[in-house]
Structure 1
Amino acid sequence: MAEEGAVIGCHTLDEWKRQLESANESKKLVVVDFTASWCGPCRMMAPIFADLAKRFINVVFLKVDVDELRTVAEEWEIEAMPTFIYLKEGRLVDKTVGAVKDELLKKIDLHSTK
């Protein structure tokens, strides 16, 4: 487990599954940033995502590069970057497509208090 307040990068399928399992057991909200190294809006959102991870220490923040973990991106039907999915106990509760800082904050606020 990474320390609280950090974005956890998942670079292998095993790492992704392990992070997801431990997050599901904790019953915390999980926010996954599906990103790509070549994606300008993704790079713009990265420091914002990292800042939110510091503010919401009761939320698990994961980052997945769609080129590295294509199967994970396909599994969650990711078609554009950045896409943020919100999971509770392994279930998709919401999704944000695009670099929309305010919507990201609003949805984390909404789902982390439920």
Structure 2
Amino acid sequence: MASFGGWRRQVSYPSVVPRVSSTTNGSSRVIAIHSTARWKSHFDASKLSTQLMVIDFTATWCKPCQLIESAFEEMAAKFTDVVFVKIDVDELMEVAQAFQVQAMPAFFLLKQGKVVDKVVGTKKDELQRKIEKHKI
């Protein structure tokens, strides 16, 4: 887990496989949000829906985030009735602060604009269980 509060980046991690994202081939169901305006629009629309939204708070320098990225993409492909969103904390710091993100990766599960659950760390089995629980 990489620390978010105070932007501590001095954590060393073992070598990992380079980050590969299916967003490059256009087949990803994960919505990457890069602006506050787009986030606000997306968040406001989600308040009117009963559909589960899973937010992945990440950063390009976060090695644990890179480790779980492919699992998050796979979940997005599997759970087609769930909205999957990715937010880089360096790009949208105010959104991360609004959700009180203190470590990453951090996954927030929302329904109708309200947080119903969260998972911090690379706990993909726990994240999948919580998605299955709340997607109904």
Shared topology, TM-score over 0.5?
Answer: yes
Farther off after superposition, 63-72 or 17-26: 17-26
Shift of 1:20: 1.6
Identity of aligned residues (%): 45
The 2-side partners of 1:64 and 1:104 are apart by: 17
2:45 counterpart residue number: 22
Structure 1: which 5+ residue stretches go unaligned? none
Residue deviations 1:2-59 (CA, integer Å, cap 9, x gap): xx96000010001111122223323200000000000011011111111101110110
The 2-side partners of 1:34 and 1:5 are apart by: 17
The 1-side partners of 2:38 and 2:122 are apart by: 25
Q: Which amino acid in structure 2 is aligned with residue 31 of structure 1? A: V
Which of the pair has more CA radius of gyration? Answer: 2
2:67 counterpart residue number: 44
Q: Is the CA contact 2:52–2:109 (under 8 Å) kept in the aligned structure 1?
A: yes
Please, what is the CA RMSD of the aligned residues? 1.6
1:81 counterpart residue number: 104
2:93 counterpart residue number: 70
The 2-side partners of 1:31 and 1:63 are apart by: 8
Structure 2: which 5+ residue stretches go unaligned? 1-26
Q: If the length of structure 2 is used for normalisation, what is the TM-score? A: 0.77
Q: Is the CA contact 1:23–1:60 (under 8 Å) kept in the aligned structure 2?
A: no
